[in-house]
Amino acid sequence: MLQKIKILMPGPIKFNFVKEGLGYYLNKLEKFVEISALFPKVKIKESEKNIRIKKEGEVLKRYISDKEYLIVLDEKGKAFKSFELAKKLENLMQNQTFITFVIGGPEGLSEELKKDAKEIWSISSLTLNHEITLLVLVEALYRSFTIIKGIPYHKE
Every domain of the chain and the residues it spans: 4-149
Distance in angstroms (rounded) separating the CA atoms of residues 37 and 102: 10
For domain 4-149, is the CATH number 3.10.129.10? no
**Conformational region of residue 61, where left means phi above 0, alpha means psi within -120 to 50, and beta covers everything else:** alpha
Task: Inform me whether the pLDDT recorded for 109 exceeds 70.
Answer: yes
Residue 22 marked as a ligand binder: no
Residue 126 marked as a ligand binder: yes
Query: pLDDT tens for residues 138-149?
Result: 999 999 999 999
Residue 100 marked as a ligand binder: no
Residue 125 marked as a ligand binder: yes
C-alpha torsion sign, points 79, 11, 68, 20: negative
Residue 123 marked as a ligand binder: yes
Task: Inform me whether the pLDDT recorded for 154 exceeds 90.
Answer: no
Largest CA-CA distance found in the chain, in angstroms, rounded: 48
Percent residues over pLDDT 70 in the chain: 99
Query: pLDDT tens for residues 11-47?
Result: 999 999 999 999 999 999 999 999 999 999 987 776 7
Residue 77 marked as a ligand binder: no
